[in-house]
């Protein structure tokens, strides 16, 4: 199984997804310690995962999001969060 560092996985996530779909699972490490395995939906289902498991997880995530929104009172748009992140990164790199 291929191994990559967490930073590389974050920076090149789109490439990682394509690689996982075409070549198989990838182990993601941080500081030399294995953290997670990224695998395709087909591999996940083959290993016993099901759509109902995925739907249950998504429902739990939606419920947690609502609870966080109620507690914090703020709901930034994902588009705004990504734009802010890109601006910070560009600024840190000295890009226009």
CATH number of the structural domain spanning residue 10: 3.40.1620.10
* DSSP annotation string for 17-49: HHHHHHH--EEEEETTEEEEEE--HHHHHHTT-
Q: Is the pLDDT of residue 20 over 70?
A: yes
Question: How many domains in the chain?
Answer: 1
Tell me the average pLDDT across 26-51. 86
Tell me the average pLDDT across 21-28. 94
The predicted model scores a pTM of: 0.50
Q: Is the pLDDT of residue 10 over 90?
A: yes
Tens digit of pLDDT for each residue in 39-92? 998 888 787 766 677 777 888 888 887 877 777 766 667 887 888 888 888 888
Using CA atoms, how far apart are residues 62 and 82, in angstroms rounded to an integer? 19
């Amino acid at each position: 199984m291929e191994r990559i560092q967490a930073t590389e996985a974050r920076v090149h996530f789109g490439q990682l997804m394509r690689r996982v779909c075409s070549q198989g699972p990838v182990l993601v490490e941080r500081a030399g310690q294995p953290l997670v395995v990224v695998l395709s939906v087909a591999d996940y289902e083959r290993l016993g995962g099901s759509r109902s498991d995925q739907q249950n997880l998504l429902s739990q995530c939606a419920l947690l999001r609502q609870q966080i929104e109620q507690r914090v009172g703020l709901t930034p748009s994902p588009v705004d969060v990504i734009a802010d992140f890109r601006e910070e990164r560009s600024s840190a790199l000295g890009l226009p």
